[in-house]
Each structure stands twice: as C-alpha cells, then as structure tokens.
Chain A
Amino acid sequence: MSLVKLTIDGNKVEVPAGTTIYKAAKQLDIDIPILCYMDLKDLNIENKPGGCRICSVEVEGRRNLAPSCSTAVAEDMLVRTNSMRVINARRTVMELILSDHPKDCLSCAKAGNCDLQDMAVLLGIREIPGQEYAEMSTYRLDTSPSIIRDLDKCIMCRRCETMCNDFQTVGALHAVNRGFEAVVAPAFEMNLEHSPCTYCGQCVAVCPTGALTEVDHTGKVIAALNDPTKTVVVQTAPAVRAALGEEFGMEPGTRVTGQMVTALKQLGFDYVFDTDFAADLTIMEEGTELLGRLKRHLEGDESVQLPILTSCCPGWVNFFEYNYPDLKDVPSTARSPQQMFGAIAKTYFADKIEVDRKDMVVISIMPCLAKKYECQRDEFSVDGNPDVDFSISTRELAHLIKQANMDLNKLEEDDFDAPLGESSGAAVIFGATGGVIEAATRTAYELQTGKTLEKVDFKQLRGMEGIRSATVDFDGLDINIGIAHGLGNARKLLDEVKAGKSKYHAIEVMACPGGCIGGGGQPLHHGDASILKARTKAIYKEDEGKTIRKSHENPYILKLYDEFLGEPLSEKAHELLHTHYFDKRKKIFQV
C-alpha cells in the first residue's frame, strides 16, 4: 500500500493511503476529540456518519473544516487540529448539541459514564448561550421490558443504528423525521415492543448518552432483600465475573468471582448460586438432544432437524422468532441457563429448603438486557409466579454494591453456596463466543464415543471472527460446527439453513459481539473493543483453573438427575428445562 506524507499541527507523519486524518493524528499521539465516531476494530464495526462534526479540523486550501473521522489523508496535506478556527467551531458545535440536550445530568442513568458529559468537560463548556429560550426537541418516553428510550437525550450519533442494522441486521432502529425533529426510532415511531427489537442491548452498549438505558431493577432487589418473608436466591452468569471489576477501576479482564460472591452475601442474599451450574445442566440436555438428532440422522431419518442451534441466548431466540419463525423447530428446545436455574431453584431447591415458591425470589445477574425480557415470558412461570423474578445487569450489580458502601477491590474472596453453586470449567466458557459449543463438544464427545477426552481445549472454536467453523473428529465421525456472534453473522448461517445448504451439525449463536462478555448489560466499553478480548481471556483462564472441566462430571449435576430429574430429556426434564418457540412476526407493528 502506498504511503502518504502529511503534516498535522506541525508534525510530519507518514501513513498508508486511505487512512483518515483522525487515525493519522493518533499516530502522533494527537487525540482529536470524537463523539459520534466509533471503531470496534476486531469486530469490523465502524460508525462514521460524520454527523457530530466535533472532530472537525482545518485543512489548508480547503474551503470549510473537514471531519477528521471520515476525511482521508492526502499527500502534503497540512492539518491544524487546534487553531482558533477549529477550537471555536468545536466549542460552538458542542454548545449547539448541549443546547438540545436535557440538563438533568445529576439524575441521569448515564451520569459519570456519559461520553457527552466527558466531552463537555474536555472542551471546558461553562455556559450554553441562549439556553433560556432555546427550544428543545422532545419525544415520548418508551419503556420496554429491557430497554428505556429517552430520546430527548439522543444526539443523533447513530451508533445504535449501526449496531442494530449493520451488525445485528435487526432493523429496529433507524433515523426518522427530519431537521430538528430527527431522531432514531423504530419504524412509524412505534415503541420498541412493537418493533423487531430482540433486546440484545447493543444499542444501549454503544449509546454515548442516557438516551438508551436498561430498565433498572435495583430498587426491586433492595426491596426483596429487605422483605423478611422472602428467601432471596441469586444466580450470576459467567460473563459477569469477567467484567464487574471494571466498574471498580480494575483492569479489563480482571476476574472477581470470589469478591463478587462476598459482595452478594454481604448484600444479604440468602443463597448465592452460580448460573454456571445451570449451564452444566444445559449441556446435559442440549448435548443429549444433539446426540439424539445425530443418531437419528445417521440412521437415515430424514425428518430430523440438523443442524441443531443453541438456544441459550435470549436475544438470539427473539431474533429467530421474529425473522425465521418457519425454522422454529430447528433450535434446541433447551431453555437458557438462566431459566433452567430458575426452574430448578423453585422446585428442587425450594423443596430441599422447604420454602414455598411464592416465598422465594430468584434474581439473576446477567451481562444481558434480553434476560430481563426472557424471565418475563409467560411460559417461564407457574401460576403467575415466574421462575426467575427479575434480572439485573452487571452495571446494576455494580451500583448495588457501591450503594452498600462496598469496594470490590477490598473484599475477600468467598465461594458460591451449594448445591446450585458448583460448576465445571465448561460452564464458565458459556460467557464467550464459541464457549457453549466447546462445552457441548466436551460432553457430547465422551457420551458419543465412550472415550475419555484427553485434550479438553478446542482452540479452533475460539476467537473473534464473526463466523467460525471447525470440524471435530468424534472418533472417526466428523462433526461440523459453526459459530456466529452478532445476529448479522447468525443471519448468514440461518439463511444457509433455510436454503437447505448448511453443512453444519451444530451451530452456536450469540447475539452480542464476543458473546455474553460483550453483552448489552456489561460495563460500557466506550468503543474500545480490546476490553472484550481481555474479558474473553479471563473467562478461559477461569476454565483452565477448574478441576472439573466437563459438564457431565459436575457431581451436583449428577446428583440432581439422580435425586430429581431422572435422566436428560426425561419427562420431568422436559417439563422444567425445555421450551418451545413462537412466530412473532405478527407482533411487529401491532399496537
């Protein structure tokens, strides 16, 4: 690639042709402020509408200022990023953006974590001229089971739109209206509930302001903990422990499993359990289902649905219910670990401790916003009593811990309670893309071949590529595995399945980039994709450190089957651990 020489603020730099001014400046350690621009490098997601104009710079010979995020360098270009003209323009534009933004920062869900606020601080904005008479654009507040849209706070950066359309291909959010009324919304400005939104929460994960936030259940948690009539049980998903530390200033990738357990116990939860336990259970059910389908397939049964698709990810489940309802028999019927946990907690465990399910509150801590919706699904409740009462995100847990005057950094480590707190390494890696299928492979291999798996690490299933595929040798039987993270990638694999051209026996899909570690409920990455990689590493590290690394070797799982469920896919297992899917196409745009 040819190189281009240019000068930025008096410093010479040489970069490949096609590089943007913003990136060229970065090489010189010149940080041009950006607001709407977002580059998640490893995920091939780049949001560059050139809309906020905060990154404008002066290019000699050019009539107007150039947006550095989207202007390519040219030979001998002379760029000024800090001239009076640039600084004045940047401030003026920032003042304009703020003039149409609510000033309730003190009570905003994004307070202290807001890119817009940071920019106002960086640019030293002290006053917004004419604010007293400036009209603001206002919109209806939209509350869904998972996500709140407060579009008064939208600055039209379009990041959510990029995630929703380009990355997820969900198409729930798009710019509507024009001029001052322009805003990002579902078609016809319907509420999210009447859009094809999957509640994956990736819009929330990238929103630079408080326009898109999660539904906050921390108040409900505190109320439950303070209700003496309730036995409060908490489960924590694997990806939470790999990210929670970030909220307390720890390096991305710091595992805080033990400290998290301590914090939860100190918060007053009666039982601190691990969703990983249910992940092991998922593998037992889903793995058995896979082997069953495989067996029938090998015996020549043409009615059997292959590939089997994983069903742990609620965003993904919503996605195929909206977009591929005709394929709703293809995914595994296994419930997600969150729901399996809830079902077991309110039956097996409730019986054990002799508590009526109505007096038990099951709370899940999830990296995910779609989980909030999932636990509200009608099919996951008994007589109106949900298996999982409500789900809070990693971010909400951090708030809870901080409100309880605890610093995660200072806490001792503790262990999960038994019996629903024990898990294998296979369950931990559920949190990363490829993890579920790797866990399933570890178990399915041994159940299918009857041999012991010596090398449990299937490195070929790991990585950040959007779509990955690998063939695993099941003692002479080649099993083709496909993995997709991001619903746009999943769509590609689904289209193959729909066309009858899929070569896979099993496909794992996670809605979020990097899997659950990149979930919509995780600490905000602020556009830094390297954080996701660090979390992934932490997940695999925890797996390595476990003595039990295969789900079917978890003694508490074996005990559960022995005492309660019988065997995988038994009638009881079907009743508690499996589900069915719906055609949700008709739901869209109906009020």
Chain B
Amino acid sequence: MRPRIGADVGGTFTDIVVDLGPDGPLGTSPIDRYPSTKVLTTHDAPERGILAGIETLAAELGLDLGEVDQIIHGTTLATNALIERRGAATALVTTEGFRDVIETRNEGRFEQYDLNIVQPAPLIERRHRYVVPERLSATGEVLRPFDDAAAERVVERLADGGYEAVAVGFLHSYRNPDHERRFRDLLRSQLPDVAVSLSSEVSPQMREFERFNTVCANAYIQPLMASYLVRLRDELRARGATCPLDLIHSGGGLVSVDTAAAFPVRLVESGPAGGAIFAAELAAAYGRDRVLSYDMGGTTAKIALIDDHTPQTAKTFEVARTMRFKKGSGMPISIPVIEMIEIGAGGGSIASVDALGQIRIGPRSAGSEPGPAAYGLGGGEPTVTDANVELGRLHPDTFGAESIELSPAAAAAAIATGVGGPLGLDVGTAAVGIAEVVDENMTNAARVHAVERGKDLRGYSMVAFGGGAPLHATRLMDKLGLDEVFVPPGAGVGSAIGFLQAPFAYEAVRSFYTTAGDFDHEAANQLLDELEAEAETFVRRGTDAPLAVERSVAMRYRGQGWEIPVALPPGPFDAFASELLADVFTKAYEEFFGRAIDDVEIEAVSWSVRVASIRDRPVARTTVAADRLATPSTTRPIHDPAAGGTVEAGVFDRDELAPGVGVTGPAVVVEAQTTTVLGRDHVAVAQPDGSLHITRSRRTAGGAP
C-alpha cells in the first residue's frame, strides 16, 4: 500500500498524519502506522501550514510526495468564515412574500430567562434580499407562475449590486426545482461570473428557514472555499504530490475537490467528524457495538454515540452560536452530519462562582492565549487544567508541551482567588470541586444526548481521545456506569487519523411528504432511485471501489413534530409497502420511546440515500489481559475521588508499556500529548495496537464524598 496523508486544520494546530499502512515501511508494529506532526495553523493562508507540516514530516520519514496515494483534508475554514462573517458579497433571491424568513427565524427566544438576548444577525442583510413573484404548492404544483419580467429586473439589480455570489431559495423547491433553475439560467446568461447556489441542490429538505439559511451559507462561503481548495491543490502539485486531494465532509465521508468547491457548506464541522470516525474504527476493530466517543480538547468536549460501528447522523445542525453552546442561538444548517453534542468543557474552560455559591465551568475559555494560569503565559483565572495540575494529574516533569513550563504555584494562586476564596475552601478542595463539576457537566451532557437519541448508556464502551479526555475518562466511566475505556494511540491527532479511515460517501436527502396509509410506492421508488444516482455520481468522482447503499426515511406519527430515522430494507417497494413502512416505523418507535401508539396515522417526511465505498474492515482485535504488571519508576500524589482524598500514584511512561503489560491504579500514564489517570479501582492493560484498555478492578461508588 502506498502512503496516504491526512491534514486537519484546526483553530490552533494543523495536524498532519501519514498512514504507512498495516505493513508499511516502518509498520512493524501497528503503533507505528500513523506518524504525525503538529504545526501552528496559519490563519491568513491555511495551505502554508499544511504544506510546511507535510514537508517536515515527509523529510523525517524520507517520503517522496510523488509516492503518496491520496491526501485527505479537513478544515475549519468553512466554519470560521461563517462565524467571523468573512464570506463573499452575497444576495438572496426568494419567493415574494418571504423576504424575511432568515431574519424572523422561528420567532422564539433561545433563552427564556434573559431580557437582553440578541438574535443572530441574518447572514444576508434585508437590503440584499430580493423577491421574485412565483409560488409552488406543497406538492410542487405551480400556484403562481414564475414572472420572467420581474426576474429580469432582479438580475439587473444584482448586476448593479456587484454581488460575488447569489443564493436562490424558493418555497417548496425541494418538491419542484424548476423555478429555482429558471432563475439560475437567467442569471448565468446575464452574469456568468457570479457563483450561484440553489436550495433545491444544496439542501432539498422541507422547512424554509433551515433550507434558505443553508443555501445562503453555501453561497456565502463558496468563492472563498473554491479559491482556497484550488490553491492548495496547485501548491501540492507543485511539490510533486500529483495524487488526488479529497475532502472530509460533515457526514463523515470523503468527496472530491470539485464536489467540495460546489457544496462547501458540507465541509462545515468536518473536523469533529474525523474524531467520530476514529472512534468508530476502533469500535469495529474490537467488535464493540455500542461506543461513546469522548473527545476533549482545549475549549470544548464533544460526545458522540457510535452504534454498530457507525456514528449516529442527523439531517440538520447549528453552527456559529452567538450564545455559546445555547441551542437556537446559531445558524441552522440542514445537511447530513455526524451528530454530536459539544459543551464548553475543555482544559482552558474557566471556573467561576455564581450568585448561588455554585462553581460554574465555562463557557468562557482561556483558550491557548492567555491559556490556563499554570502555563504562565498571562492567564490569571482558574481553568480545568489548573485544577488538574493542583490535583497532581498534570505535573511539570511530565507535561508534554516542551515550550510550556507548568507552574503549580500559579495554578494554586488562580484557584484560590477565583474559587477557593469566594467559597471559603482551601485550594485542594476547590480544585476537587472544579474537577467534579466539569466531570458532572460532561456526564449530564452525555446522558441528555443519549436520551435525545432514545438510547441508554448502560453497556456502552468509551473511546477517549484529544488532549483532555484521558485525564477525565475514568471519572466519567464511573459516573456513567460504563465498564471499559479505550485510550487509542495517536489520541492527540485522532481527527486526522479518522480522515484516513473514512470511506468515500455522499448522502442525498430530499423531503417528500406522504403517509404510510396513502403511500405511492412508485413515486417513492423513483425518488429513491434518483437520490441513489445523485449520491453515486458524487462518490464516483473520487473512487472506483465497490459501493454500499443505505436508505432511510424520517417518520413520525401525525401530529408529532419530531421524526425518527428508520432504515429501509433494500430493493424497490411493491404494492404492500404501506404495511412494511408502518411495521418498520412501529418497531423503530418502540425502540426509541419504549412504546408504540395504536391507530394514529404514520407520516414520512424526508428520504435519504447514502452511498459509500466499501472499505476493508480493520484488523479484528480482542483485548488482551495483563500477563505482567509494570512497576513504576517513581510515584506522585494525586487526588482520587473514589478514595476520597490524595493517594500515591505510580507514574508510567506510555511508550514503555509493551503489549500485555498491566498498570494498576492509582496511576498516571504519561505521553507527549496527554496523560491518562487511573484511580485506585482502575486497571489498564497496554494492547498490541497501542491502545490502553481500562476496566474497573472493583465496584466503585461514583460520588462518595
């Protein structure tokens, strides 16, 4: 196998990983499969950081870029352009009477108890929104013909306005794209250089606010993303990398540069998707059917559920929340996405005391600048990292970042000032409080996320990665009542490794409202065939591999507002499809909510087909038990909640733990990018693939005081 490269451009770091393959030149051990490097992200021109990282790593490995088989890229550039409003001069053209859909939103307040909320500003101001007389019905029939003369006048105004991009969103266009296409054709004939996005192509899903917002976002970032991607490809070619450049999208699959440049909104939130794929790959290798993916970095923690080795997906999500992590305060984007919950619980999250005398964590973060107080870079407020330093979990002697000299004294001072003083607690107790509260926040977020998906977390296995997760993983395992945690190798660059494990995949979604009782099976067959053909076209631009097809439909009982996804059996529907649909929905509903309801009409709303290349399954692994125990070269005191106080923990170097070597808690296992903490009741065993497999040696009561 020829080497492949993954490049993940994040807010702070750009991670470059090379996949040398299971039997690559250095691949004598699976641990060596993914050599990596981290460079600082170059925000003004992200390709510089990528190229520098690739060149550095290639030089280290003696790698000829001409030998590289594929480069896979994921970037926060699209997300950041939306958050920072750095997109093109964009206009929206919409149905007369609906000029303000993206401004009036859902008419609700996202925070009930705040008189001073500010709604997110629409991506396109009112003065840049134009209307055309036309109207389709809910079934796609013409209620009011498209007014060509009026459309011509709108095009003239667009020409005068000097727009770089135009979004077109007409009512019910997901059922009938004709009017949107007519406007596009007219626009192209007059203004061929203006980028145009149609809502019926970008996101043919019912619900105008979400769809219009999505097409606006696509148009808004398209010129920027297209020029960036072309620049990156050219620069790579100039350096001899003539292989394909592919992009990871938010649904966790790969698309070609051309597809990405046409639908850049599908790149939003693609980085976290890589992390979920990384966890899914481990779940598949170890045959774990129910996995909780837990990724904790500097500013947030992200939790995703992975059932049957497949991350859960959703059809809509929200970006650029103005009130951090508050549902409803951002922009809805309706495209297929790996579903996860993100909360303000990272190493840099700031701890404070509220009016109730309670410790609060986040949502403010010290980020990397000024950073936690312990970094000595000017941060004075106590953070989660400072608590971990105070509790002995992080230590100056073993902290990975070479440029940072951890200062326990600075951490203690910040905790004393910010939390200990106001609550009358000593520094150690205040630090325990910070750690407990952040762990409880993550635990509660995981539980609520599971409930929203109709899942119960009992019996799940955790995969912990990102710089912060291994510090907190065992505590979360105890609080959630899980039985095992995997800390895979390369946890600090998990997303970039995940890119290399992703299939080519495209999910085509379209709304088509029908009831199970009044089901037109021929129309549904035609729709599903069209969706499959559309998805396959995009996938075939990137790969010749054999393909797998998954079809699903979002259904609900009439009168409900939430649909649940139901997988459809393969093959076309026949005349008995009504009963089949009702049957699969009833089963799924029971699984979701515990109880089906009789005699209420069942509705189908949105249909989707995902086409993905079939990848080789990962090498099957079983966990090995410890055949010998490691002895620590040194110990240090850490706080252990199960013990209710400070215990002396063995300190182990992860690189020195050979497969089959066990570590009994209390212990800390240190490595360059993170530290894994074991309480007195935890046991870790190093696995042949380099993972740490952590279980409990005896039952622990999670919250004993």
Do they bind each other? no
B residues near A, CB below 8 A?
none
A interface vs B, CB < 8 Å?
none
